[in-house]
Amino acid sequence: MALSSTVTLVGNLTRDPELRFTNSGMAVTTCGMAVNFRRQRNGEWEEETSFFNVTLFGEMGENAAESLSKGSRVLVSGRLQQRSWETQDGDKRSTVEVIADEIGPSLRFATAEVTKTERREGGGGQRRPVSNEPPTGGGGGGGGGGDYDEEPF
């Protein structure tokens, strides 16, 4: 990995998210994203489009595959990762992709309904309900144990 920088992109999906699973059962979702940039130069509007491949792992990838489709306007936050390889003909190839930490629909021109999913134990096991109850035991102040869920809703 030669390049690793954090980015936040806003754009449209160029294809439906494609969900696959590794041999170990981890979900890996890939999708394409187009990011448009408009600027005015000498009184004329110019538009440039950059294309990115986005990779999402685990439950986030499964949620994206279920929730998003080609044309969806999304916000993606993650890190850039460069991969290089050599083709069978000996040609060197390279690509930069976004490994997503977060993804969500843009609400600039649309509305969305959020449905909270149940969490999975250990990244691939049984789903379990997410508790919105405060921690139990250990006295006040947040230092105690329990199954406290820090999610905001």
Q: What is the pLDDT of residues 1-43, one digit of tens each?
A: 455 689 999 999 999 999 999 999 999 999 999 999 988 889 9
Angle in degrees, CA 2, 7, 17, rounded to 5: 95
> Cα 35 to the chain's mean position, in Å?
15
How far apart (Å, rounded) are the C-alpha atoms in residues 32 and 51?
7
Q: Is the pTM of this model over 0.75?
A: no
Whether residue 54 lies inside any domain: the answer is yes
In tens, the pLDDT along 58-92 reads 999 999 999 999 999 999 999 999 989 999 999 99
CATH number at residue 66: 2.40.50.140
Whether residue 28 lies inside any domain: the answer is yes
Whether residue 108 lies inside any domain: the answer is yes
Whether residue 1 lies inside any domain: the answer is no
For residue 63, give its domain range: 6-128
Whether residue 138 lies inside any domain: the answer is no
Whether residue 153 lies inside any domain: the answer is no
Number of domains in the chain: 1
